[in-house]
Structure formats: C-alpha cells, structure tokens
Amino acid sequence: MESPSPVAARRILEKLARHYPGARTELKYGNAFQLLVAVILSAQTTDKQVNRVTAGLFQKYKSPADFASLTEEELAGEIKGCGLFRTKARSIIGASRRILTEYRGQVPDTLEGLLSLPGVGQKTANVVLSTAFAIPALAVDTHVFRVSARLGLARGKTPEETEEQLKRLIPRKDWKEAHHWLILHGRRLCFARNPRCPGCFLQHECPQGRKLLSQGLADR
C-alpha cells in the first residue's frame, strides 16, 4: 500500500476535524497523576468502565503517596472492574513509588521520564504528554493503529512504526487532535469487525470504501 499524498492526507484530516469537532479524551481526571492512572487502567477496558472505577477510586486515593501506600491486593480489589486488574495494580503502585522517589511526587513531563515508570509504554506516555502537559505527541492505540491503516495513512507493522509514519505525514500542531479524531472514528464507524463503510463520510478517501463503491456496495 502506498502512502497517500500530502494533499490526500490533508483532505482526510480536514474531514475528520469537521466530523469530530472538539474531540478529546473521554477519560475523567483532575490532574496529570489521575490521567496517568486512568490511562494505565484503560488498557483492554473501555473509557466508560474506567470512569466508573475511578469515580470512587479518586475520592479515596488522591496522590502518588496514597497509591504508593497500598498493597497490590488492596488496589486490585479497588480496580477489579477493569481488565488485567492485578497487573495494573502492580504497575500503578510501582509508578507511584517511582514518582515519589525519583520525581519529587510530580508526574514527569518528558517521554524519557514517563517511560521510566512501571507499566508506562509509548502510548500511555504520549497520551499524558499531549493531554496533561500540552506537549505535541501522537499516541497510537488499537483504534489509531487500525483506522490509520485502513485509510492508508500509515502501513506500519507495529504501533511504533505507525506513530513515526503518522508524525511524518501529519503537521506537529495537529498530532494531539489527530489522535482523538482517529480514535472517535474507530469507535463510532470504523469498527474492528463490520465497519460501517456504507455512508461513511470518508468512503471516497478510504481504499476499502472505494473498493465497495466500485462494487456498488456502498452509498454513492
């Protein structure tokens, strides 16, 4: 698959921006640390479910020190509504303790610093950088990975490769918004199974949508 021209990519981004104005994270948080915890919890769990869990969690535990004082069993019991809750409990406690010992209780605002925290990978770090600190970053989750590939915006075999390709294609000022546009498109239309290609506002820009059009199977 060939990468789209800058003109074609810009056309796709402009349509996404018009269709999803004001797109932003659906996770609820009050500060950078709460966002970090919420993003860790969001792996293989919907944002709605994370918000249900954190509504009570953040009332009881408000700081890295609060979480660092918990045992893994205690925190696992609090977040068992999320998938992989035991692993996530270990990561959150480990990250909280590292924040206390290495960063004076403050979430680091650099990619290197965030990646040094237990349980924090490239996607989580990029979400925190762009959302909590307004530092340009482009996080690639499962939705971004899938949708950008279907639209022909990237052809990376890994999220990291896709991130680099998207960053070369998309203007730096649009990285944060593009992340949210692609996520919303994946959640609302471009599903992993049975994507709603007929009638999709991007069907003329999308290789799969154009194929359906040529076969007379999509709305013209």
- pTM value is 0.90
The fold of 6-23+139-214 is Endonuclease Iii, domain 2 (1.10.1670)
Indicate if 32-132 has the same CATH topology as 6-23+139-214.
Answer: no
Which phi and psi angles does 151 have, rounded to 5°?
Answer: -80, -10
Active site residue 66: no
Q: What is the CATH number of domain 32-132?
A: 1.10.340.30
- Could you say which of 60, 141, 174, 219 is catalytic? 141
Nearest Cα to 99, choosing from 152, 40, 36? 36
**Token duo for residue 32:** 């950078």
Residue by residue, pLDDT tens for the chain (220 residues) are: 456 677 888 999 999 999 999 999 999 999 999 999 999 999 999 999 999 999 999 999 999 999 999 999 999 999 999 999 999 999 999 999 999 999 999 999 999 999 999 999 999 999 999 999 999 999 999 999 999 999 999 999 999 999 999 999 999 999 999 999 999 999 999 999 989 998 899 998 898 778 777 776 555 4
Active-site hit among 60, 88, 109, 123: 123
